[in-house]
Structure 1
Amino acid sequence: MYSYDLYTDFELADLLANSDESAFNYLYDKYWDKLFVIASNRLNDLVEGEEVVQDIFFNLWRKRESFKLQRGFENYFAVAVKYEVIDRRARRLKEGEFRNMLSQALQDEHTEMHFYQFDLDQLAMQLEYRINQLPKKCRLVFSLSRQSNLTNKQIAKKLVISEKAVEKHITHALKFLKQHFRHYFSVALLLLVS
């Protein structure tokens, strides 16, 4: 087994471009905790901080073949966290505006309340349908994470799998739901915990 500590960041980037999973795992292990602390603190939310880090690593792996490192991974991850946090905060504002708008509309007329409730019910039904399309293990992990509010460690222990496997299942589920809900993704996630 290679000692990836001996490689420069640019050599690691080259290995990553050649789909070296061990190099990716090395970067993941080296930076995950630090990124998680930064993202969670900036968002004041542990779950969302974890999602930010998962998104960053998912995107790094997804674009690995075309990835070009400019300064070093420390700099790359600092910028990635910064932009993911900005994106999440912007989405929070949009969600807040949506909730305020929905609340106002629900107060306006009784008939409108039925209309918006119908929309949310439809969205909830679509969400349940899409979740049921996930592979069995992925669906179980996602359900334990989002609906039962178990930590990755608790899920790993319960299902006798590694925490990394839990993270991969959650990342896959979130990506799948993002593809199907696009602009309503944040609202769909709110329905999961309501």
Structure 2
Amino acid sequence: MVNELIFTDQDLITAMKNGNQKAFEELYERYWPEVYSMIYRRVRDKEVTKDIVQDIFINLWRYRDRIIAERSLAPWLNVAARKQAISWYRKQLSTKQREALYQDGEVLVPSSSTELEAKELQNLLDREIERMPVNMKQSFQLSRYENKSIREIASELSLSEQTVRNNISIALERLRSQTRKFYAEPANLAGVLVILFTKI
């Protein structure tokens, strides 16, 4: 096994890209618990979590030559975990929608595609995030996309912890406002919102 006290993430990523399986195994052992925790807090199902984590690391090895990561693999894994969780939610919604087509022996036609709605909503929210003031956008992204604590964000952005809390709170309210405009009924919210709005 590659000694993690000697090799940094950057060393291991470089070795993995060159086909070093031991480097990949070390990265797997180093990050598996963290990735498992990130996914489980989103899907709340142990077996589903294990499957998703396995898929993430399979893709890490399969597409290792395309991985863009410098000093740490954590940001790449955070993005991968978020995308996989969103994909899982969309599949769940699509399954429920198909089941809803057949009720009491009748075929029901849905008003729109849940998956398409999820994509449209995600694009809408992404645009709203880009319109936010720089500190607000960075506070939100570091919290939701990189899973950093309030203290870590405050230190990284040279802001007070209360300012970071306020930034995240206002950012969430702006996104909720856009969501309310997008959907006529809150009950129709796509599962992707759970990932965006739930503090993890």
TM-score, scaled relative to structure 1: 0.51
How many correspondences in the alignment? 107
The 3 A distance-change label for structure 1 pair 97 and 18 is: same
> Could you tell me which residue of structure 1 aligns to residue 105 of structure 2?
107
Q: Deviations over 1:75-133 (max 9, x none)?
A: 111111111101111111111101111x33x6128xxxxxxxxxxxxxxxxxxxxxxxx
Q: Distance in 2 between matches of 1:96 and 1:88?
A: 12
Output the CA distance in 2 between the equivalents of 1:78 and 1:68. Answer: 13
Structure 1 gap ranges (5+): 110-194
Greater than 3 Å deviation, 4+ residue runs: none
Shift of 1:36: 1.1
Where does residue 41 of structure 1 map in the other structure?
Answer: 41
Deviates more, 1:86-95 or 1:70-79: 70-79
Q: Contact 1:13–1:68 (CA<8 Å) still a contact in 2?
A: no
- Aligned-residue Cα RMSD (Å) equals 1.8
**1:65 maps onto 2:73 in alignment:** no
What is the TM-score when the length of structure 2 is the normalising length?
0.49
Following the alignment from structure 1 to structure 2, what is the Cα–Cα distance between the partners of residues 38 and 8?
Answer: 22
Measured after TM superposition, the shift of residue 24 of structure 1 is 0.6
Deviations 1:20-77 (A, max 9, x none): 1111110111111221122122101111111110010000100113323155211111
Distance 1:75 1:95, change over 3 A: same
- Over 3 Å counting, the alpha-carbon distance change for 1:2 and 1:27 in structure 2 is closer
Identify which of structures 1 and 2 has the higher relative contact order when contacts are C-alpha pairs closer than 8 Å and 6+ apart: 2
Would the aligned equivalents of 2:35 and 2:81 in 1 still touch at CA under 8 Å? yes
For 1:1-194, what aligned pairs fall within 5 Å after superposition?
2-70=2-70, 72-101=72-101, 103-104=102-103, 107-108=105-106
Indicate how the Cα distance of structure 1 residues 54 and 86 shifts in structure 2: closer, same or farther if over 3 A, else same: same
Counterpart CA distance in 2 for 1:5 and 1:82 is 29
5+ residue gaps, structure 2 = 108-200
Note closer, same or farther for the CA distance 1:41–1:107 as it changes in structure 2 (3 Å cut).
same
Change (3 A) 1:70 1:86: farther
